[in-house]
């Protein structure tokens, strides 16, 4: 958990490259908490999106979307999260395969410099 928290701190401070390395280390260490793992995958996807590494962004957002199947369903927040993950996958896929101008929705939880 400490690795993920440091990754989040670094990404919020603008160092997404190092932040992503901390998130990846957190994934390697592992966790039994599916919500925590989902949050790590989501933040990894966001970090790589800001770094314009769209293949990796798509990979981690897909992991998050697949993991959502195993998180208890039924709450409004979970429905909203699943919708947001699907939206991310669509945005990243669109950028990778149609090369429009860079899309940056205003609600992203992290802000990283390039």
Instruction: For residue range 5-45, list pLDDT tens digits in order.
Output: 999 999 999 999 999 999 999 999 999 888 889 889 989 98
With tokens 């101008």, the residue in question is 101
What is the reported pTM? 0.70
- Superfamily per CATH, domain 2-98: Tetratricopeptide repeat domain (1.25.40.10)
**Over 60: is that where the pLDDT of 99 sits?**
no
Which burial class, exposed, middle or buried, applies to 15 when counting CB atoms under 10 A from its CB (0-12, 13-18, 19+)? middle
């Amino acid at each position: 958990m400490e690795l993920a928290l440091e990754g989040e701190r670094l990404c919020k401070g603008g160092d997404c490259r190092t932040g992503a390395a901390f998130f990846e280390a957190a994934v390697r260490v592992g966790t039994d908490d599916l919500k925590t793992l989902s949050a790590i995958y989501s933040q990894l996807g966001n970090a790589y999106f800001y770094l314009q590494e769209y293949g990796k962004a798509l990979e981690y957002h897909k992991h998050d979307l697949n993991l959502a199947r195993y998180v208890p369903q039924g709450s409004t927040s979970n429905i909203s999260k699943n919708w947001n993950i699907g939206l991310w996958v669509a945005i990243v896929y669109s950028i990778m395969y149609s090369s429009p101008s860079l899309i940056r929705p205003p609600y992203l939880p992290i802000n990283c410099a390039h």
